[in-house]
Structure 1
Amino acid sequence: MVSGDVQNPLHAVKTSSVVPAAVTGETAVHELTNMDLAMKLHYLRTVYYYNKEAFDGLDILSIKRPMFRWLDFYSTVAGRIRRSDAGRPFIKCNDSGVRIIEGRCNETLDEWLDKKEWDLHKHLVPSQVIGPEMLFSPLAVLQFTWFRCGGVAIGFSWSHALGDVFSALRFIDTWAHIMAGTPPTQSINPPRSTVEKPIKPPNPPTKQLPAKPVEPVGDHWLTANNCKMDTFLFHITDTQLKHIQSKISGQIPPFEALSALIWRSLAKMREGKEPKIVTICRTDPRGKENVWLSNDQIISTVEADLDVKDAELSELAALIAKGGVDVSKEIEVMVDSNSGSPDLIVYGVNLTFVDLEQVNFFEMEFKGQKPILVQFKIDGVGDEGAVLVVRDHASGGDDKCGSGGWMVTVILPDNEVMQLKSELEREWCIT
């Protein structure tokens, strides 16, 4: 899907809020960790597509009613950002709520999914950021779009300051469980009232960290790129992946194989500026069991001491597989424990590859129906770009992404998108 300027195809748009059923209390606060603040300028955007059967017979009131209890378990998400006397942001759990957007589309779901342009699909996911009126900015927003056929798209926007992908999915999946009549048995995310200061690593890194201070953003958590960024998504079938792996000597896992392929392709395009250092972000499996909202990613850097554009894919894949140098603690130390400064970006400081193999976006069921397609992207990516590799857990049926395989979302400067698409199609028949 490639961006372009298109008119918003939605109509009958309405906005409301949902708050916790019980009063949380004026004194409850959720302290943000240094890693939370390092990620605060990034946003996770997800769109889930469902056939008519998933929401047949349900109106917006029956969909929203379980949300009041849902937010009892996640009062933090219903809060708003405040600052301490020293200027450090935290979340005041004041029950201001999660924003809900409703809209309608005159096309059928099949007609919509036949359009492969991101600029169309982005209308289905809220693009709000925190600020400039921070006191009124929701930390999470859901958008429901009804298609003419009865199909539904659920757009989910999540501030990365709240937590990583595991935290975001745990949050929204809990709502689906409550809708199904299987709520959690106890509070699963009490506000975090204290935060341990990060321990300064004994040996400071000698190389540049994959986190860059930007111009201070104040209360508007949005940073500008030096160029227009564009997004496209493509699907890799298991057959295509095996073909790619067959061209690489050794047993190379899917994430490493796909990352190496795109790394080399971009190096060929960026003559004289080929990316020698890349950032690797992996979801920490321990985050699955963490009841807290948290940013538990493992962030590392990989440096190539060879000519990337002429390298064997096996060489680049082996570098990625080794994992590079974990610099997560060093990034935490960059954030002042008193003020929460400076403002940083992480994704896109270097060319960034995000491994989401352990994340299953297809677990959120309604009436026994799983999504037929899920699209995921990250906003706030820096100029070097980011590549998100997700396992496609869609099972059979008429889904538009095929059964199984991998979904790859690429976020790049707009002048590189068509070049990369042409390179992938010419070299690997990937469209």
Structure 2
Amino acid sequence: MTAGRQRRVTLCAKTTVVSAIPVRPGKTHSLSALDHAMTRHFLHLVFYFRAAPALTKSRLMYSLSEVLSYYPAVTGRLHRQPVEDAGAGSGSEWSWVVKCTDAGLRFVEARAHATLDEWLASATDEEEMELAHSEPMGHDPSIWSSYCVQLTEFDDGAVAIGLSSAHINADLTSAILLVRAWSDAHRRACIVFPPFLHAPALEPRPNPNPRSALFSSKSAAAAAAAASTEPVATAKMSSATFVFSDASVKCLLSDAGDASPFDALAALFWTRIAAPELGAADLTLGIDMRKRMHAPLPYAFYGNAFHFYSVHGVDLGAGLSRVAADLRRAGEGVREEDFWEAVEWLHERRPGRREAEPAFQVYGPELTCVEVDRDAFAYGTPFEDNDGSRPAHVTCRVDGVEGAGLVLVMPAAAEGAARQVVVTLPDDVVAKLCRDASIAKYEPTVLFASAGVKKG
């Protein structure tokens, strides 16, 4: 919280919500190599809703308890488990596993001393994260809840639902679909995307490609590990959200040529964050692989299923349309084989593995740009059966970002091509972007910037 600024969010109570149906004794949920790679990171989501009769604490806690019956891994606790097939003399080899003990998740109640419109117009990035309570892992993870839900009521009766999760559990798609399943249960509707809890779906193949050991693919994991396995020295990081209307994105697409909204926005922000005069530059891109595989995973696959790959040697001075085209071609060139090579490489180097390196930065040290929620799941989460009950705004953040920073591109509340870009970057870079004429040309609304940064 910025010094001298009065705190507007007050925590009122904390409790635990358990599932309505107990889990059978002894049930566990294993974590994949992709899950283990996310050890350093946390997810934070905030869903904002206008005042509605159905959004009361008692009703929300009841429906949350019901939907948690589908998510035993959410209510469980992390444990270190010895690897049985490690071989003789393996000694300290272990992996993380979730023991589905019905311990429940943390549920926090809070008050925000502002109306929703006042909050959206004035809240800083630090204030917004006060709506998504999280607790660091203590010395004993078996008593720590890796999921927290916060219900915050505004002065006008609007509410914010904040969800925080250790990234080792799942990715942003899984976290968004957990809230969507909650909204379905709350409306007594069919859960459209019930979770698919099957971590072995991403286990290494029985006959892995020999290239996986050398890891010569384009995935960014090896590059990140080679750059640093220790925290990256970095300036103070801050965030801001840029909301682009349907008309603004269409204007950008006319300037960017044959590109998707993601390619165009990634190119726009990359060229403004980096220094075009330096010539060739590198970028890490993250995409959800669930539906990009020959045997697709269900949308509701629970876990981490994003693939991070590097784009090398792009000339940022060549213009927006050229950079966007380079990003489009790089995305089209991602093969399923690249993804499996990354899975197999990470499996051999996961935390707890013999002679393994410690967990490294996935979001950094190189600038990382991630495409989130392509099918607008975040805004398909109404808690009432009417068109006006969709979220007024949704924010996604990743904690533990270091180095050059992170750019998340996701749909916005408005329909059509509207998008929002959530950046987590060094302080001075965020301030520069908020004043950048090339971005201002597309008239974004700037939300949740640091105190002192002028908002558009």
Considering the TM-score relative to the shorter chain, is it more than 0.5? Answer: yes
How far off is 1:190 after superposition? 5.1
Structure 2 residue corresponding to 1:243, chosen from 241, 251, 276: 251
Does 1:303 find its partner at 2:323?
Answer: no
How far off is 1:299 after superposition? 2.3
Does 1:265 find its partner at 2:272?
Answer: yes
How far off is 1:348 after superposition? 2.3
Q: 1:31–1:194: 8 Å Cα contact kept in structure 2?
A: no
- Superposition pairs for residues 146-157 of structure 1, below 5 Å? 146-157=153-164
Unaligned runs of 5+ in 2: 83-92, 444-455
Q: Secondary structure at the match of 1:346?
A: coil
- Superposition pairs for residues 277-426 of structure 1, below 5 Å? 277-286=282-291, 289-306=298-315, 308=316, 310-322=317-329, 323=331, 327-332=338-343, 333-336=345-348, 339-340=352-353, 341=356, 342-356=358-372, 357-368=374-385, 369-394=389-414, 405-424=418-437
Q: 2:392–2:413: 8 Å Cα contact kept in structure 1?
A: no
Q: 1:267–1:275: 8 Å Cα contact kept in structure 2?
A: no
Check 1:288–1:126 CA distance in 2 against 1; reply closer, same or farther (3 A cut). Answer: farther
Does 1:202 find its partner at 2:214?
Answer: no
Q: Distance in 2 between matches of 1:405 and 1:166?
A: 19
How far off is 1:304 after superposition? 2.1
Q: Secondary structure at the match of 2:98?
A: strand
Check 1:358–1:63 CA distance in 2 against 1; reply closer, same or farther (3 A cut). Answer: closer
Check 1:224–1:28 CA distance in 2 against 1; reply closer, same or farther (3 A cut). Answer: farther
Q: 1:373–1:394: 8 Å Cα contact kept in structure 2?
A: no
Check 1:132–1:265 CA distance in 2 against 1; reply closer, same or farther (3 A cut). Answer: farther
2:251 is matched by which residue type in structure 1?
H
2:167 equivalent in structure 1 = 160
Q: Distance in 2 between matches of 1:296 and 1:192?
A: 10
Structure 1 residue corresponding to 2:141, chosen from 128, 134, 139: 134
How far off is 1:409 after superposition? 0.6
Check 1:193–1:351 CA distance in 2 against 1; reply closer, same or farther (3 A cut). Answer: closer
How far off is 1:391 after superposition? 1.4
Q: Secondary structure at the match of 2:274?
A: helix
Q: Distance in 2 between matches of 1:297 and 1:193?
A: 16
**More moved, 367-376 vs 296-305:** 296-305
Q: Distance in 2 between matches of 1:426 and 1:34?
A: 38
TM-score under structure 2 length normalisation? 0.80
Structure 1 residue corresponding to 2:281, chosen from 276, 300, 324: 276
Does 1:18 find its partner at 2:17?
Answer: yes
How many residues get paired? 409
Check 1:317–1:79 CA distance in 2 against 1; reply closer, same or farther (3 A cut). Answer: same
TM-score under structure 1 length normalisation? 0.85
Check 1:374–1:185 CA distance in 2 against 1; reply closer, same or farther (3 A cut). Answer: closer
How far off is 1:263 after superposition? 1.2
Q: 2:287–2:308: 8 Å Cα contact kept in structure 1?
A: yes
Question: How far does the alpha carbon of each residue in 1:292-328 deviate from its partner, in whole angstroms, 9 at most, with x for none?
Answer: 412222322111253x2x2221221111101255643
- Superposition pairs for residues 109-120 of structure 1, below 5 Å? 109-120=116-127
How far off is 1:7 after superposition? 4.5
Q: Distance in 2 between matches of 1:285 and 1:195?
A: 11
Q: Secondary structure at the match of 1:304?
A: strand
1:276 is matched by which residue type in structure 2?
A
Q: Secondary structure at the match of 1:77?
A: helix
Question: How far does the alpha carbon of each residue in 1:360-413 deviate from its partner, in whole angstroms, 9 at most, with x for none?
Answer: 311111123111111112112231111111111435xxxxxxx86111111111
Q: 2:137–2:144: 8 Å Cα contact kept in structure 1?
A: yes
Check 1:91–1:268 CA distance in 2 against 1; reply closer, same or farther (3 A cut). Answer: same
Q: Distance in 2 between matches of 1:75 and 1:191?
A: 12
Question: How far does the alpha carbon of each residue in 1:163-188 deviate from its partner, in whole angstroms, 9 at most, with x for none?
Answer: 22222122221111111112549984
Q: Over aligned residue pairs, what C-alpha RMSD do you find?
A: 3.0
- Superposition pairs for residues 172-211 of structure 1, below 5 Å? 172-184=179-191, 188-189=195-196, 196-197=203-204, 200-203=208-211, 204-206=214-216, 210-211=220-221
Q: 1:360–1:393: 8 Å Cα contact kept in structure 2?
A: no
Q: Secondary structure at the match of 1:289?
A: coil
Does 1:227 find its partner at 2:244?
Answer: no
